[in-house]
């Protein structure tokens, strides 16, 4: 059985975006983060990832300045999601402090330290990168959360791939209605499988439709 890896399927591509560190921008970046994690099949990390982004941007706003240009990179090696935020000020290095009860600032890194599995700072000559990582519970980059529908789709895919090498099979006739329902169920499971692996189901359906039409034209 051959599984083709096209357009990033079975691989979660890093997400990169540049913006200015302003309070009004944070909500848009948080929404984009939620969307990307959903597409990666990692929706269970959406809330904590959004907290991390909020605190990283807030740290830049409070200690470097409003309107500072920053670059966000979100990636995964499978086991962890890594969130990196870089800014052009190499002097204002974040430090984890225990604020007093009356302090108006200094709690951001405490929150980051509490919700992230690990975090740190990468100093550069003219900039710095503050990063944090969140455990996904996965083992490799093309793994996915355990889900019955995804498992069913994988089983169907394996059976389909194996069937290509079988010349003679005993086929039980199905009525058109029953066969159509079975096909819809299989397609639905495959869409869940694609979603869980960080693929775009719409893009995959479009490619499948294009291939189907081309094959019909060749056969005609």
Beta bridge partners of residue 71, listed in sequence order? 18, 86
- The verdict on 29 and 118 lying in the same domain is yes
- The verdict on 87 and 192 lying in the same domain is no
Query: Is residue 2 domain-resident?
Result: no
pLDDT at residue 149 in the model: 60
Report phi then psi at 87, rounded to 5: -140, 160
The CA-CA-CA angle for residues 42, 28, 143, to 5°, reads: 15
What's the domain range around 176?
A: 148-219
Query: Is residue 10 domain-resident?
Result: no
- The verdict on 29 and 90 lying in the same domain is yes
Read off the pLDDT of residues 107-156 as tens digits, 9 standing for 90 and up: 668 889 899 999 999 999 899 999 999 998 876 555 566 565 666 666 66
Query: Is residue 143 domain-resident?
Result: no
148-176 average pLDDT score: 53
pLDDT at residue 169 in the model: 42
**Is pLDDT larger for residue 98 or for residue 11?**
98
Query: Is residue 9 domain-resident?
Result: no
**Closest residue by Cα to residue 48 from 107, 120, 115:** 115
**Helices and strands (H, E) in the chain, number of each type:** 6, 5
pTM of the model: 0.61
pLDDT at residue 152 in the model: 61
Read off the pLDDT of residues 37-66 as tens digits, 9 standing for 90 and up: 877 778 889 999 999 999 999 999 998 999
- The verdict on 131 and 155 lying in the same domain is no
Q: How far apart are CA 63 and CA 201, in angstroms?
A: 41
Q: How far apart are CA 75 and CA 116, in angstroms?
A: 15
Structure letter (DSSP) for residue 139? S
- The verdict on 19 and 117 lying in the same domain is yes
Burial (CB < 10 A; 0-12, 13-18, 19+), residue 103, is exposed
Structure letter (DSSP) for residue 39? H
Domain boundary among 102, 135, 168: 135
Query: Is residue 8 domain-resident?
Result: no
Q: How far apart are CA 198 and CA 150, in angstroms?
A: 12
**Is pLDDT larger for residue 14 or for residue 108?**
14
Q: How far apart are CA 112 and CA 84, in angstroms?
A: 13
- The verdict on 117 and 169 lying in the same domain is no
Query: Is residue 142 domain-resident?
Result: no
């Amino acid at each position: 059985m051959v599984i083709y890896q096209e357009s990033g399927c079975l691989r979660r591509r890093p997400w990169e975006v540049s913006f200015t560190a302003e309070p009004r921008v944070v909500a848009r970046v948080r929404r984009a983060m939620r969307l990307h994690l959903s597409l990666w099949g990692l929706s269970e990390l959406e809330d904590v990832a959004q907290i991390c982004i909020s605190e990283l941007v807030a740290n830049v706003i409070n200690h470097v300045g409003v309107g500072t240009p920053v670059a966000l990179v979100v990636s995964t090696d499978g086991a962890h999601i890594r969130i990196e935020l870089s800014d052009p000020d190499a002097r204002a290095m974040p430090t984890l402090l225990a604020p007093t009860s009356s302090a108006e600032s200094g709690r951001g890194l405490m929150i980051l330290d509490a919700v992230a599995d690990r975090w740190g700072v990468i100093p550069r000559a003219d900039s710095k990168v503050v990063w944090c990582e969140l455990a996904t519970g996965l083992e490799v980059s093309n793994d996915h959360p355990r889900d019955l529908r995804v498992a069913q789709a994988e089983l169907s895919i394996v059976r389909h791939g194996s069937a290509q090498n079988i010349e003679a099979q005993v086929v039980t006739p199905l009525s058109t209605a029953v066969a159509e329902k079975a096909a819809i169920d299989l397609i639905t499971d495959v869409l869940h499988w694609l979603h869980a692996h960080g693929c775009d189901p719409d893009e995959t359906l479009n490619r499948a439709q294009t291939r189907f039409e081309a094959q019909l034209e060749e056969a005609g």
